[in-house]
Amino acid sequence: MVGEPLERLFVTAREQILGDIRRSLKRAVGEPPQLEAAPLPAPALRVPMTDRNLYCDLFGKKLENLGGKFIRVRDTAAVVPAIAELLVQKSAVASNAPFLRKCGITGLPQVHSAFTDRDELKAACAAADIGITSVDYALAATGTFVMLSSHNEARLISLLPPAHIAIFPRSRILANLDELLSILPRPADQTSSMVLITGPSRTADIEQILVKGVHGPGEVYAIVVDEQ
């Protein structure tokens, strides 16, 4: 029993903290969670029962309210024409997402992709004007992109360049965060990084005046494709 000053010298910080916690809570080592006085409610996931066909428009409206841009196209062939103007005189880094290849993004001359080396990718992103990615999911209720880090999607592409274009099929749009968590109850099983991106980077730290594009991209575009 830890109590003697000499013994305390040999108690690790971990043992001391956990020991102090157990003493305060009157719990034994290895005791399972006590449930009577303080039960743990089942997860409360509230997924609205609305028409999924409305999600795309809602997503677009929310994104635009935040200062992002929403473009809806009919099929994958219409993607490149829709963003052609954005790429003029600009350099871009694109992720390895299969959907981007399908949309013809990776073939464009000013787009650099197929990075596998971390340092090369970082340098390219730091120099690029635009980062182009797909998304794993999007959330209609908040105009959010959901991106899981993987061999297809690196973290820095949607972060370092001052503009971010996300291209994805309409079918990936979910209702809200609750629906995301109901289909992905443990994101850590899949990835070391899941990020929810809701609009352009911003701050109001000085006099509460809103400024966009502080560290992350100040310009955010969503190109949503109707066809699979």
Partner 1 sequence: MNAPEADIQQSLGDPRLQLAIYTATRRLIDHRAGVVSDEVLPYYQDLRNEANAIKKHTIENLDYYLEQLESNVIAHGGHVVFCRTGQEAADFVLDLAKKRGVHMLVKSKSMTSEEIHFNERLEKHHLEAVETDLGEYILQLAHQRPYHIVAPALHLTRYDVADVFTKELGAENEVVIEKQTKFARGVLRQKFLQADIGVSGANFLIADSGAIVVVENEGNARLSTSAPRIHIAIAGIEKVIPRAQDLAVFLNLLGRSATGQPLTVYTSFLSGPRRPTEIDGPDEFYLLLLDNGRTKLLQDPEKRQSLYCIRCGACLNHCPVYRKIGGHNYPWVYSGPIGAIITPQFHGVNEDTWLPFASSLCGACAEVCPVKIEIPKLLIKLREEVVEVKRRQAAGDLERFAFQLFAWIATHPKIYLLLASLGSFFFPIVPRIGPLKQWASQRTVPEPANQSFHQWWASRSKGSS
Q: Which of residues 28-57 bind partner 1 (CB under 8 A)?
A: 31-35, 37-41, 43-46
What letter does residue 215 receive in the DSSP assignment? S
Does position 20 interact with partner 1 (CB under 8 A)? The reply is yes
3-class secondary structure, 72: strand
Among 115, 137, 168, 221, binds partner 1 (CB under 8 A): 115
Chain positions 209 to 228 lying near partner 1, rule: CB under 8 A, are 209, 211, 213-217
Chain positions 81 to 110 lying near partner 1, rule: CB under 8 A, are 96
Supply the minimum distance, in Å, between the C-beta of residue 19 and partner 1.
9
Nearest to partner 1 of 41, 85 (CB atom): 41
Which residues pair with residue 69 across a beta bridge?
Answer: 221
Structure tokens at 107: 């073939």
3-class secondary structure, 96: coil
Sorted by sequence, the CB contacts under 8 Å of residue 169 that are 6+ apart come out as 99, 224, 225, 226, 227, 228
- Check if the beta carbon of residue 157 is closer than 8 Å to that of residue 94: yes
Nearest to partner 1 of 203, 228 (CB atom): 203
Q: What is the number of other CB atoms lying within 10 angstroms of the CB of residue 204?
A: 9
Among 2, 7, 8, 16, binds partner 1 (CB under 8 A): 16
CA 175 to each of CA 55, 90, 167: distance values in angstroms, whole numbers, following the listed order: 7, 34, 18
3-class secondary structure, 83: helix
Supply the minimum distance, in Å, between the C-beta of residue 68 and partner 1.
10
3-class secondary structure, 10: coil
Chain positions 134 to 193 lying near partner 1, rule: CB under 8 A, are 141-142, 144, 149-151, 154-156, 159-160, 177-178, 181-182, 185-189, 191-193
Among 8, 98, 126, 227, binds partner 1 (CB under 8 A): 126
Supply the minimum distance, in Å, between the C-beta of residue 218 and partner 1.
9
Among 17, 54, 77, 84, binds partner 1 (CB under 8 A): 17
Does position 1 interact with partner 1 (CB under 8 A)? The reply is no
| Residues in binding contact with partner 1, number by CB under 8 A | 79
- Check if the beta carbon of residue 105 is closer than 8 Å to that of residue 79: yes
